Amino acid sequence: MDEHVYAPEPVTQPDPQEISRRTFLMNVGIALNAVVGLAIATPVVAYLLGPVLKHKEYLDWVALGNASDFPVGETTLVNYKNPFSNSWDGDTAMVPAYVRRTGENDFTVFAINCAHLGCPVKWFKESQLFMCPCHGGAYYADGSRASGPPERGLFTYDLKVDGGKLLINAGQMPTLQNRAGLKPCPGRDEKAQPAIVAQIESAPRVDA
């Protein structure tokens, strides 16, 4: 029986150029993954930290014009630039609102959005009502609810008159989720009762 002796194969040393190329490609792959990860993480982090970083802009006083520009007894539609906006926003950075002046230093600034689902309301001077075109919500001149699906009056902005200018605390729409939720509805009276309800309750009962 023949005996075969197998000699071990010689160990070949890796080519330094091959190692260098492999290391280079690995580093490139790691760098690309890092770039992609950074691109994905940046908007997420900006979204999470945006309200904190931009808190001052959210609560900025914006001038609506001279106080003398608004006649007493009138409700005027105005537009102001949202302080929390970018240069490329264009006309979308403009926010409408209604200014009501009932006295020399008595102003109310209403958000244009209906308190039901946010549709823009329109002021009708003839009927002295704000009307919502979406679902028929109506509000009196003082912003209190008149009829329709809204459960409260129009939202209002904090305001002040400084140096003859009428300013509002702008940057976010007043809603139930922020400071407007802590305020009573405009013109709301818990003890008041609609006349039609009082008439129904006082009507004599007729037994069948």
Q: What pLDDT does 58 receive?
A: 59
Q: Is residue 33 part of a domain?
A: yes
Q: Looking at the structure, do residues 104 and 136 belong to the same domain, yes or no?
A: yes
Q: Looking at the structure, do residues 175 and 88 belong to the same domain, yes or no?
A: yes
Q: What pLDDT does 193 receive?
A: 42
Q: What pairing do the DSSP bridges indicate for beta strands 94-103 and 75-81?
A: antiparallel
> Please, which residues have CB within 8 angstroms of residue 70's CB and are 6 or more apart in sequence?
76, 99, 101, 107, 166
Q: What pLDDT does 138 receive?
A: 95
Place of tokens 């001038």: 63
> Please, which residues have CB within 8 angstroms of residue 24's CB and are 6 or more apart in sequence?
none
Q: Looking at the structure, do residues 66 and 101 belong to the same domain, yes or no?
A: yes
Nearest to 167, CA basis, from 54, 67, 85, 93? 67
Q: Looking at the structure, do residues 178 and 141 belong to the same domain, yes or no?
A: yes
Q: Looking at the structure, do residues 156 and 93 belong to the same domain, yes or no?
A: yes
Q: Looking at the structure, do residues 25 and 128 belong to the same domain, yes or no?
A: no
Q: What pLDDT does 167 receive?
A: 92
Q: Mean pLDDT for each 10-residue chunk of the chain (208 residues)?
A: 59 62 80 84 68 57 92 94 81 90 92 91 94 94 93 92 91 60 45 42 50
How far, in Å, are 53, 69, 166 from residue 175 at the CA level? 21, 27, 21
Q: What pLDDT does 59 receive?
A: 66
The DSSP 8-state label assigned to residue 120 in this structure reads B
Q: Is residue 7 part of a domain?
A: no
Q: What pLDDT does 9 receive?
A: 62
Q: Looking at the structure, do residues 94 and 65 belong to the same domain, yes or no?
A: yes
Tally of domains in the chain: 2
Q: Looking at the structure, do residues 167 and 82 belong to the same domain, yes or no?
A: yes
Range of 25's domain?
Answer: 15-51
Q: What pLDDT does 201 receive?
A: 44
Q: Looking at the structure, do residues 22 and 116 belong to the same domain, yes or no?
A: no
| Neighbouring-strand partners of residue 94 | 81
Q: What pLDDT does 21 receive?
A: 75
Q: Is residue 80 part of a domain?
A: yes
Judge whether 139 and 175 are in contact, CB under 8 Å.
no
